Chain A
Amino acid sequence: MAAANMKAVKLRIKSVQNTMQITKAMQLVAASKLRKARDRAQQSEPYYKILKNTLTDIASGNNDFTSPYTKSGSNDKWLYVVIAGDRGLAGGYNANLFRYMEKETEGKDYTVLPIGNKSVDYFAHRNVPILTREFAEVGKVTISDCFEIAKLICEDYRNGEFGHVTMCFTNFISMLSQVPSGTAMLPLSDFVKEDVDPKANKNLILYEPDSESVFNAIVPEYLAGLLYSTINVSVASELAARSNAMKAATDNAEDMISTLSLNYNRARQASITQEITEIVGGAETNDA
């Protein structure tokens, strides 16, 4: 019995070792990609921050509603741009984002524009209406794709297909914490709801040539900018989540291997002891 048990343990060790090799490789790959992704995310961070501050300032001071982009939602249809990963094995990265989405969209009439394979799969599986699947691979989205997405969103928004456009992504707080969050995209009045400051006085702003043409010119661009920077942040979050998950998996595998080796050695020891007892026992009967 001992020999069979030993063999089983040995096989198990081997299989855990193989898994560990894979998780270790994935961890290393994610960690090395992460460095680049973090640089990119950090680069676009000021753009995102200043853009958002400026738009919040403008939206809170705005009392001009000639442009369709500034009016508060004409109907109650929502468009969610959901930025998830292309692949799994990233810990809770995708699951957390989708859980956040569930909570956000509860009771709303919504359509999604998924970015990232996982996001496409998830909403297709749930029969949620999907605007386009063209941008399924988050790893391949470029600046010009962002402009295309922005144009698409603007067109549909202006045609009254949606009253609100919101984006869900995963914010990179630190290596150890990535939090799913959302940000308003359209209309501009949605920005004000986010951080209500009752004391903010309505500033008078001069628009040149006029507010409508200013907004019509800047909105597609700011959407593209917003998209690009949040995609960068999300990619960094995904890689950090994957690197952490794979590190945990590798550590776990190491623990398992050490426990299994202990069991293996114990079984080996037991079988040797048994053999000796048998030999000694046999010799004694011979002597008698």
Chain B
Amino acid sequence: MAATFHLQVVSMDGLEYDGTVQRITLRSIDGDVAILARHMNYCTAIGMGTAKVILEDGSERSAACIGGMLSMMNDECRVISTTWEWKEDIDVERAQSAKARAEERLKDQQLDKEARVRAEAKLYRALVRLGTAGKQQ
């Protein structure tokens, strides 16, 4: 049995997960990281991607995880994320329409810089959601 540690995941929508896990993998701003038990004190900023959590019983759950921070302090792992949506909770239709809308906006050549950045961010978020839900074409 693999060693376990305590993981808390919070997003702005509330406490998403609080329990013991074997491993969490997610994408930081610097690439993918996996955290195992007894990891040294660690802190990184979260990028955009699919997070995978291996629960105590070895089953796996995945979620769309965007923005925020991960900290591992004295074997307590806290993921404070701006968005954390479990795979089963993702609204695929909404993400698809968001993706279409963002793509439409990006086609506009006259788009000013700020609007472009915003539309790109929307597109990435939609893509992460779709990727996590496994519905990406």
Q: Is B68 touching A46 in the complex (CB atoms < 8 A)?
A: no
Instruction: Annotate A5-44 by CB proximity to B: 1 below 8 A, 0 otherwise.
Output: 0000000000000000000000000000000000000111
Q: Check: A239 CB closer than 8 A to any chain B CB.
A: no
Q: Check: A225 CB closer than 8 A to any chain B CB.
A: yes
A interface residues (Cβ-Cβ under 8 A, vs B): 42-47, 50-51, 53-54, 57-58, 61, 143, 203-209, 211, 213-214, 217-218, 221-222, 224-225, 228-229
Q: Is B8 touching A50 in the complex (CB atoms < 8 A)?
A: yes
Within 8 Å by CB of A207, from B43, B68, B78, lies: B43
Q: Which of B28-36, B54-62, B88-96, B99-107 touches A?
A: B28-36
Within 8 Å by CB of B43, from A50, A206, A221, A224, lies: A206
Q: Check: B2 CB closer than 8 A to any chain A CB.
A: no
Q: Check: B134 CB closer than 8 A to any chain A CB.
A: no
Question: Considering the chains assembled together, what is the distance between the CA atoms of A47 and B69 in angstroms?
Answer: 12
Q: Is B28 touching A50 in the complex (CB atoms < 8 A)?
A: no
Question: Considering the chains assembled together, what is the distance between the CA atoms of A53 and B45 in angstroms?
Answer: 17
Instruction: Annotate B3-41 by CB proximity to A: 1 below 8 A, 0 otherwise.
Output: 000001011111100000000000011100100000011
Min CB distance, B31 to chain A, in Å? 9
Q: Is A217 touching B41 in the complex (CB atoms < 8 A)?
A: no
Query: Dominant SS at the B interface?
Result: strand
Residues in A with CB closer than 8 Å to B8 are: 50
A selection of 9 A-B contacts at a CB cut-off of 8 Å is: A57-B71, A203-B41, A208-B28, A208-B43, A211-B43, A214-B43, A217-B45, A221-B68, A225-B82
Within 8 Å by CB of A43, from B14, B28, B43, B80, lies: B14
Min CB distance, B119 to chain A, in Å? 13
Question: Considering the chains assembled together, what is the distance between the CA atoms of A203 and B56 in angstroms?
Answer: 27
Within 8 Å by CB of B29, from A50, A51, A213, A225, lies: A213
Residues in B with CB closer than 8 Å to A225 are: 12, 68, 80, 82
Residues in B with CB closer than 8 Å to A229 are: 12
Within 8 Å by CB of B68, from A42, A205, A209, A218, lies: A218
Residues in B with CB closer than 8 Å to A224 are: 82
Min CB distance, A47 to chain B, in Å? 5
Q: Is A218 touching B45 in the complex (CB atoms < 8 A)?
A: yes
Q: Is B71 touching A47 in the complex (CB atoms < 8 A)?
A: no
Residues in B with CB closer than 8 Å to A218 are: 45, 68-69
Q: Is B30 touching A209 in the complex (CB atoms < 8 A)?
A: yes
Question: Considering the chains assembled together, what is the distance between the CA atoms of A54 and B45 in angstroms?
Answer: 13
Question: Considering the chains assembled together, what is the distance between the CA atoms of A54 and B12 in angstroms?
Answer: 15
Question: Considering the chains assembled together, what is the distance between the CA atoms of A50 and B67 in angstroms?
Answer: 16
Q: Is A206 touching B42 in the complex (CB atoms < 8 A)?
A: yes
Within 8 Å by CB of A214, from B14, B44, B67, B82, lies: B44
Question: Considering the chains assembled together, what is the distance between the CA atoms of A44 and B41 in angstroms?
Answer: 26
What residue of chain A has the Cβ atom nearest to residue B39's Cβ? A206
Known: A57-B73, A203-B74. A51 touches B33 (CB 8 A): no
Min CB distance, A220 to chain B, in Å? 10
Known: A204-B40, A218-B68. 14 other contacts (CB 8 A): A47-B12, A50-B8, A57-B71, A203-B73, A206-B41, A207-B42, A208-B44, A214-B29, A214-B43, A214-B69, A218-B69, A224-B82, A225-B68, A228-B12
What residue of chain A has the Cβ atom nearest to residue B118's Cβ? A144
Residues in A with CB closer than 8 Å to B41 are: 61, 203-206
Min CB distance, B115 to chain A, in Å? 13
Known: A221-B82, A225-B82. A205 touches B14 (CB 8 A): no
What residue of chain A has the Cβ atom nearest to residue B80's Cβ? A51
Q: Is B80 touching A47 in the complex (CB atoms < 8 A)?
A: yes
Question: Considering the chains assembled together, what is the distance between the CA atoms of A213 and B31 in angstroms?
Answer: 13
